[in-house]
Amino acid sequence: MLSRVADRIFWMSRQMERAENMARILGVTANLVLFGASDRREENLRAPLTITGTSEGFAERHQSLTLETLIAFLALDEANPSSIYSCLRDARDNAHAVRWQITSEMWETLNATWLEVRGIRRERVIGAGATQFFDWVKERSHLFRGVTYGTIVRGEAFDFSRLGTFLERADNTARILDVKYHILLPAVEDVGGALDYYQWTALLRSVSAFETYRALYRDQIFPIKVAELLVLERRMPRSLAACFVEINHSLERIEGQHDHSVKRLAGELLARLTHSDIEEIFQAGLHEFLTGCLADFTELGNRIQRAYLGTV
C-alpha cells in the first residue's frame, strides 16, 4: 500500500474516534456543570480544554468561559481543528481521497455524517439539544466502526484503520483520567478513598465504563479501582491495555522495511500495561505514569508516521 493511502486511512479512522471522544468529554462536562457542585463549575468547564490542549485557542476566540462558549468552540467551530465539526470534515475528506481502498458503505456513512453535521444549526446545540447532538456523534462513530469491521477486507487498509482508532482512543483515555484525577482528587490523603460519587460516576460514563466497573468490582467507586480499570484491565475496551493489545495485533500484520522501532515501542508499552501493578503506580504517582504513557504514545505516533505514512 502507498504511504499516502495508508496515511489517509489512518487519519480517517483517527479523526472519527477523536470526534466521538470529544462528544463524550463534552457530554459529561455538560452534566457536571448543570447538575454538579457549583464550586467546581469553573474547573469542570476548563477540564475539556486542558484534556485537548486547546486552552490558548479558546482564549483567542472567546472572552468568557461558559458552557455555551465551550460547546461552540469544541463542537462546531470550523476554525478549531480539534472540534467535532473539523474532525468529521477531515475524516470525510480523507475517505474521499481513498474511496477505491474502502468500501462503499464506509464512504456513504462518512459522507452522510458530514452532510448532516453541516446542516445542524448552531442554536440547536444548546441545552437538551447539545445532549442529543453528542449522542448522535457517538452513534455515527459506532456506525462507522461497525460498518468498517463488517465490510472491509482484512488487509492493510483494515489494519491502518484499526491502528488509528486505538492509538487515538488510548491517548484520549489517558488524558481524561489524568486531568479528571487531578480535579477530583486534590488532596494526597484522599488517594485510594471514595470521594464524590457523582463525579467519579461521570468519569466512568465518559468512557462507557460505569456498567463494566459494577460488573467487575461489585463495590463502591474507589479512585484506585477506576484507575486500574482504565489503565490495566484488558477486558475493558477503552482501557490503555486493551487498546495496546489491538495496536500490537494490527502492527503484527503490517510489514514495513523500517518498522522495527515502531513494533518494539508498541510491544514495550503493552508489556508495561500488562505487568504493572496499580498500587505500585499510585505509590510512584499516577500523574507521572500517565504523563510518561502520553509521551510514549506521541512518540509511537511519530514513528508510525515515519515508518509507514511518509511523514514526520
311 and 164, same structural domain?
yes
Alpha carbons 126 and 134: distance in angstroms, whole number: 11
pLDDT value at position 240? Answer: 97
pLDDT-based confidence at 72, cuts 50/70/90? very high
Three-state DSSP class for residue 219:
coil
Shared-domain flag, residues 146 and 191 = no
Close Cβ partners of 301 (under 8 Å, ≥ 6 residues apart): 167
pLDDT over 90 at 192, yes or no: no
Q: How confident is the model at residue 37 (pLDDT cuts 50, 70, 90)?
A: low
- Which range, 93-107, 115-129, 249-263, is most confident? 93-107
Whether 28 and 119 map to the same domain: the answer is: yes
Please tell me the total count of domains within the chain: 2
Residue 136 pLDDT exceeds 60? yes
**How much is the pLDDT for 157?**
95
- Of the candidates 152, 173, 191, which is a domain's last residue? 152
Element (H, E) at 145: helix 128-151
For residue 298, give the C-alpha cell. Answer: 506521541
Residues 128 and 162 in one domain: no
pLDDT of residue 203 exceeding 90, the answer is no
Contact call for residues 30 and 131 (beta carbons, < 8 A): yes
Read out DSSP for 163-216?
HHHHHHHHHHHHHHHHHHHHHH--SGGGTTS---HHHHHHHHHHTT-HHHHHHH
39's grid cell: 464550586
Its domain, for residue 234, covers 154-312
33 and 116 in one domain?
Answer: yes
The overall average pLDDT reported for the chain is: 90
Number of other CB atoms surrounding residue 195 within 10 Å: 16
Q: How confident is the model at residue 93 (pLDDT cuts 50, 70, 90)?
A: very high
- Distance (Å, rounded) from C-alpha 114 to C-alpha 278? 41
Per the CB < 8 A criterion, the answer to whether 164 and 10 are in contact is yes
Q: Domain boundary residue among 104, 123, 152? A: 152
- Domain shared by 122 and 168, yes or no: no
Residue % of the chain over a pLDDT of 90: 68
Last residue of a domain, one of 152, 178, 206: 152
Amino acid at 255: E
Are 44 and 176 part of one and the same domain? no
Using one digit for the tens of pLDDT, what is the confidence trace for 246-288?
A: 999 999 999 888 899 999 999 999 999 999 999 999 999 898 9
Residues 176, 138 share a domain: no
Predicted TM-score of the model (pTM)? 0.92
User: Above 60 in pLDDT, residue 226?
Assistant: yes
pLDDT digits (tens, 9 = 90+) for 148-189: 999 999 999 999 999 999 999 999 999 988 887 776 665 555
Q: What is the phi-psi region of residue 53: left when phi exceeds 0, alpha when psi lies from -120 to 50, beta otherwise?
A: left
Residue that wins the pLDDT comparison between 16 and 199: 16
pLDDT at 312 over 60: no
Residues 237 and 167 in one domain: yes
Which residues are within 8 A (CB) of 112 and not within 5 positions of it... i.e. 6 or more apart? none
- DSSP designation for 37: -
Residue scoring higher pLDDT (23 or 218): 23
- Same domain? For 130 and 232 the reply is no
Do 206 and 124 lie in a common domain?
no
Residues 100 and 21 in one domain: yes
